[in-house]
Structure 1
Amino acid sequence: MSLKFRMRVLIVGAHYPERGGVQLYSTYLSREFIKMGHEVEVLSYSGSSSCFGEVVHQLRTPKVKLIRGTSFIINAGMWMKRKGRKFDLIIANYAKTAGAALGISSLKGIIVFHGTDIFMGRILKSIVRKSLSRGKTVSVSRYIAERVRSIFGVESTVIPGAVDRDEFLNIPERDVVRSEFGFSDEFLVLSAASLVPVKGVDLVVEVASKVDAQFAIAGDGPLRKFLEKKARKSGAKVRFLGNLDHKKLIPLMSASDVFLHMPRFEGYGLVIAEALAAGVPVVAANVGAIPEVLRRDGILVGSVEEAVQAIRELKENREKLNSFRGIARDRVLSRSWRDVAEEFLRIV
C-alpha cells in the first residue's frame, strides 16, 4: 500500500490518552498519522478524550478492574463488528484487551504486544491466536518478540517506541525545577511508574531506605498507601508525587541526579528512554527488554543491594556521575514517533 494513500485508521486501546507507556504509544501514533494526512479514530475506555483532533469513541467501562477489562473486550469487539470495516488500518494496542477485542470482531488488523499482555488465560489466548492468524503482529522489543514466538508461534515485526524531541528541548534550569517541586540541592533520585506490583516500586522504597538521599516517586496506583506506609516505617526520605503530566515529569527528570527503575518485568521501558533523553543517569533492573533500551548508557543491576551500591558510587563520585549524564541523549532523540508511524505503514 502506498504511503501516499489517505487511510482511515482506527487505534484501539485502554485509557486513551493517559500517560503510561502503552497510552503514549497510542497517543503519538495518532498524532503522527494525522500529521501524515490520515484520518484517525480511537476506540477506548469511558473518560477518554481527543488530543489532536482525532475522533474518540468512548465505550462504557465500569471502574471495577476485572469487569472493566472484560467489558471493554466485549464492547469493543462488537463495536468493530458493526463499524470496523470502514477502516483501512486497525491497530490494537495491548493484546490482552484490544487484541482480544479485535479477535471477537473477526477483522484483520495489527496487534501490538507491549509486555505484560503476553500473560493471558486459555480463553483469551485462543481468541487472540485467531486474530494473529488473520493479521499482523508487532512487538515493542526483541525480548517480547521472542516471547510471542514462543507462546503463540507467530513472528513479530519489532517496532519500539520513541520520544518526542520537542518535549526535551528548552527544559527549565535545574534550580528552577527543584524549587517548583520543593526539593533541596541534596542528591535526588527519581522513579516514575504505576504503583502496581510488576513495576517494583516497593524495591525503590527499599533502596531509598538504605541510601542517604532524597527520593521522589511519580505515579499512582493501588499500592500507594502500602508504599507510603513502607517508606514511613523504613525511615526512607521518599516523596510520592502522584501522576505527573509530561510537561512536569520531563523537567524533573532533568533536574534529578539519578533515575531509578526497578520493575520485576519490562516489555520495553519507554520511561528509561525518556530519562536518557532528559540527560539523567539511569540505574535500572536488568530484566526483560531494559538492556535493549539502556545498552551501555547506564547501570544495570540485579538486586536492591546492587542498586544501592550503584547509587552510592554515583553520589560519591561526581566524575563518574557526570560521565553518564547526557551520554545517550543524541541516540535516543534520533528516533522519532514519525519513524514509528512509518514503520507501521511499511507492514500494512
Structure 2
Amino acid sequence: MLTHTICMVSDFFYPNMGGVEEHIYNLSQCLLERGHKVIVVTHTYGDRKGVRWMANGLKVYYVPAQVFYNGAILPNMVTLIPIMREILIRERVTIVHGHAAFSSLGHDALFVGKLLDLKTVFTDHSLFGFADASAVITNRFLEISLADVNHCICVSRIGKLNTVLRAKIESECVSIIPNAVDASLFRPLEPNDIGPPNNRIIIIILSRLVYRKGVDLMTGIIPKICESHKNVDFLIGGDGPKRLELEEIREQYGNRVQLFGKIDHALVRDFLIKGHIFLNTSLTEAFCMAIVEAAASGLQVVSTRVGGIPEVLPPELITLSEPTVSGLVAALNSAISLRKRRLYVDPYQAHQLVSSMYNWRDIARRTEVVYDKVNFCCNPTDPERMSIFMKFGYMTGPLFCLVLGLGRILMWLCNLFVPIEDIDIAVNYPISNEHAKQNTL
C-alpha cells in the first residue's frame, strides 16, 4: 500500500458545521488511521488563526484570508501562493485535495499544487443548474479549475452526471464515492433517553433555513398538516435568512411549531430522537447527510425526490415526493398513517441497515484507491495547460494563460527570497486527544 501526504483544502471546516465539514473531518481521521499523513487548510474563523490540532493529531492551518460571500473567500488565484507554497513544502504534501465547488480556497490551493507539480484531486459535494447567473459563473470557473486536475470525486451518480456536464470533463476521470455516517453517534431511542410523548406525533426538520433547502415548501406544508392532524407537532432546528417566515407560522400555531435555532452537531442525535418522522424539503441535493443521520437514529424519513436523494436510502426507510406542497403533504399523511398503525421499520433494524451501507472506513479505503491511481498520473506541462486554456475562448483563454504566467513569476520570486532549503520541514509531534480537544475549543 502506498503512503500519501494529503492536504485537504476547503473554505468550509470547523468550527463551521455542515456536510462538507463533516466529510473532510471524518475522511481525514480514517486516512490517518490507515497510516497516511493528513493536514487540513481552511481560512480563519474569528479568533481561530494559525495552526490548531484536532483529535488523533489532525493538523489544521487557519490561513489569514477574509470571507467574501457565503463562507468562502474572494477568488484570487495568486495572492495565496506564498503561504500555500510554504505549507505544502513544509508538510511535504504529495496530493492536494480540494472540496466543494463554491470553495475559492480549494480552487486556489489546487492551482498552487499544480504550480508545484503535485497531484490534485477535487471532490464536488453539490448540484448546480445551468440557467441562472450564479450557476453560469460557477460552472465556467469550475470548468477551468478542473481542466488539468488529475481526478474528481462525486458523492452520487446524479452528482457525477452533473459535474461531467458542468465542468466538461471525461466521465472516466470521475469516481463516485458517497458520504457516510458515524452510526455509533446516531443511535435510536434507548431506555434512559427522554423520547417524544406517546400521545403526539413529532415531525423533525433540521437544515439550514435557506431557499435551496425548501423553506418555502415548509411554510406551505406546516399549516396544512397542523389543520388536518391535531396530534402532530413540528420541531425545527437550524438557522438562516428565511427563519423569519417560519417565525410567522410559529406565532400562529404556538407550541405546536417550535424553532430551536442552530443545533450543535454533538447534539443532533439528541434532537432527532425527540421525534418520529424526519422531513427534508430540499430543492437540490447531491447527497443528503441529514436523512442518513435521521434514518440511523430510527426516524421515518419523508423527503423530496431531487438530485441524488433517491440513491441514498432503500425504499423501506424513506418516502419520496415531488418537491411540491401537495406532494409532501400526501407523503407526510402516509407516514403519519403508518406511524399510527405501527407499520414502520423497527428503529434498530433501520440503524443496522444504515450502518452496513455507509461506513467512513470504507469511504477512506475507496478514496485511497483514487490517491494510488493519481500517484502514477503525469501532470501536464505549462504549454499543455495553456493549450487547454485557449480552448475556453478568445477572452477567457488568454486571461487564464496570463494568470498561469503570473503564478509562475510569483513562484519564482518566492523561490528567490524564500528558497525551498530554507523552509523548515514540519515535525509530527505526538498529541493526545485530550490536548487536541483543548486546542479546538
The aligned amino acid for 1:190 is: I
Whole-angstrom CA distance in 1 between matches of 2:344 and 2:24: 34
Choose 276-285 or 61-70, whichever is displaced more.
61-70
CA contact (8 A) 1:283 1:298 kept: yes
CA contact (8 A) 1:46 1:58 kept: yes
Q: Secondary structure at the match of 1:294?
A: coil
Q: Secondary structure at the match of 1:300?
A: strand
The aligned amino acid for 1:294 is: L
Whole-angstrom CA distance in 2 between matches of 1:34 and 1:133: 27
Whole-angstrom CA distance in 2 between matches of 1:65 and 1:272: 27
Change (3 A) 1:209 1:96: same
Paired position in structure 2 for 1:94:
100
Which of 324, 328, 339 in structure 2 is aligned with 1:318? 339
1:58 partnered with 2:81? no
CA contact (8 A) 2:67 2:73 kept: no
Q: How does 1:188-337 map onto structure 2 within 5 Å?
A: 188-212=202-226, 213-232=232-251, 237-296=256-315, 297-302=317-322, 303-318=324-339, 322-326=343-347, 328-334=350-356, 335-337=358-360
Q: CA deviation at 1:194?
A: 0.9
Change (3 A) 1:69 1:295: farther
- Could you list the per-position Cα deviations for residues 221-245 of structure 1 after superposition, in whole angstroms to 9, with x for gaps in the alignment? 2222343235435779322212222
Whole-angstrom CA distance in 2 between matches of 1:320 and 1:76: 59
The aligned amino acid for 1:217 is: I
Q: CA deviation at 1:114?
A: 0.6
The aligned amino acid for 1:286 is: R
CA contact (8 A) 2:205 2:236 kept: yes
Whole-angstrom CA distance in 2 between matches of 1:223 and 1:200: 10
Change (3 A) 1:317 1:338: closer
Q: Secondary structure at the match of 1:311?
A: helix
Q: Secondary structure at the match of 1:256?
A: coil
Q: How does 1:72-221 map onto structure 2 within 5 Å?
A: 79-85=83-89, 86-97=92-103, 98-107=105-114, 108-116=119-127, 120-122=135-137, 125-126=140-141, 128-154=143-169, 155=171, 156-169=174-187, 172-173=190-191, 176-178=194-196, 185-212=199-226, 213-221=232-240
Q: CA deviation at 1:308?
A: 1.5
CA contact (8 A) 1:22 1:94 kept: yes
Q: CA deviation at 1:55?
A: 1.4
Tell me the percent identity: 23
Q: CA deviation at 1:106?
A: 4.8
Choose 319-328 or 19-28, whichever is displaced more.
319-328
Which of 19, 24, 27 in structure 2 is aligned with 1:26? 24
Whole-angstrom CA distance in 1 between matches of 2:8 and 2:256: 41
CA contact (8 A) 2:187 2:296 kept: no
- Could you list the per-position Cα deviations for residues 275-320 of structure 1 after superposition, in whole angstroms to 9, with x for gaps in the alignment? 1111110000011111001331211011211222222233244365
Change (3 A) 1:84 1:281: same
The aligned amino acid for 1:58 is: Y
Structure 2 gap ranges (5+): 227-231, 372-441
Whole-angstrom CA distance in 1 between matches of 2:287 and 2:71: 27
- Could you list the per-position Cα deviations for residues 188-245 of structure 1 after superposition, in whole angstroms to 9, with x for gaps in the alignment? 0001111111111232232111113211111122222343235435779322212222
CA contact (8 A) 1:277 1:333 kept: yes
Whole-angstrom CA distance in 2 between matches of 1:275 and 1:222: 24
Whole-angstrom CA distance in 2 between matches of 1:282 and 1:132: 39
Paired position in structure 1 for 2:43:
45
Q: Secondary structure at the match of 1:176?
A: coil
Q: CA deviation at 1:122?
A: 4.0
Q: Secondary structure at the match of 1:57?
A: strand
Aligned residues: 341
Choose 92-101 or 116-125, whichever is displaced more.
116-125
Q: CA deviation at 1:329?
A: 2.8
Whole-angstrom CA distance in 1 between matches of 2:149 and 2:184: 37
Paired position in structure 1 for 2:399:
none
Whole-angstrom CA distance in 1 between matches of 2:244 and 2:30: 38
The aligned amino acid for 1:272 is: I
CA contact (8 A) 2:143 2:167 kept: no
Structure 1 gap ranges (5+): none
Q: CA deviation at 1:148?
A: 1.2
The aligned amino acid for 1:104 is: F
CA contact (8 A) 1:205 1:236 kept: no
Change (3 A) 1:308 1:122: closer
State TM-score, norm by structure 2. Answer: 0.69
Two-structure CA RMSD over aligned residues (Å): 2.9
Q: CA deviation at 1:15?
A: 3.2
Q: CA deviation at 1:51?
A: 3.1
Q: Secondary structure at the match of 2:35?
A: coil
The aligned amino acid for 1:111 is: F
Choose 158-167 or 294-303, whichever is displaced more.
294-303
